[in-house]
Amino acid sequence: MIRIGLTGSIGMGKSTAAKLFAGAGIPVNDSDAVVHELYAGEAAQLIEAEFPGTVRNGVVDRQELGRQLSRRPDGFKTLEAIVHPLVRQRETEFVEREKARGSEIILLDIPLLFETGAETRVDIVVVVSCDPQIQRDRVLARPGMTEEKFNMIRSRQTPDAEKRERADYVIDTGHAIEITRARVIEIIGVLKARIAKGDFRNA
């Protein structure tokens, strides 16, 4: 079973690419969706203990959490220490389920793939990327986003140029959705061909 690791900096179109892989029949483990579930479940009280006032009605208030993180230099590391092990557990469960089902290819959507060393858990790395101006426009159009917050998030992420350099495949999401879809289909086709030949590690 080939494990694709999908990653990309904020605003680069990772979620869109993941949906296209899913639409093409590839089982996808969406880390962002897992985090949303955890924020409304088992991670909520753990986060509240470290960041008082961030949980309302049993669910983490992301806006308030973001506000507190901006004031605490160690905040992100503290949050990641809580959330990452839980996300990793869900990922392991997903991989085992798909292995039992006999899936040929799966996709792990991992926002901080390079930053957390997760490339060692996948066989193929796919990076989504686009022109920096397109990225900036997309991110600043999000509700509650500011230039300061955008720069803070970007400073914690591996630079896009380095991601592209380390990728097995790059998907440019700066064009029409159909071009992105075609690239996704192309990558899946290449991987299936390499599976048939018994060679995919260096795809």
Instruction: Tell me, letter by letter, the H, E, C secondary structure of the chain.
Output: CEEEEEECCCCCCHHHHHHHHHHCCCCEEEHHHHHHHHHCCCCHHHHHHHCCCCEECCEECHHHHHHHHHHCCCHHHHHHHHHHHHHHHHHHHHHHHHHHHCCCEEEEECCCCCCCCHHHHCCEEEEEECCHHHHHHHHHCCCCCCHHHHHHHHHCCCCHHHHHHHCCEEEECCCCHHHHHHHHHHHHHHHHHHHHHCCCCCC
Q: How many angstroms separate the CA atoms of 169 and 160, rounded?
A: 13
Is residue 121 within 8 Å of residue 5, measured between CB atoms? yes
Does the annotation flag 5 for ligand binding? no
Does the annotation flag 16 for ligand binding? yes
Does the annotation flag 14 for ligand binding? yes
Does the annotation flag 15 for ligand binding? yes
Q: Which residue positions form the known binding site for ATP?
A: 11-16
Annotated binding residues: 11-16
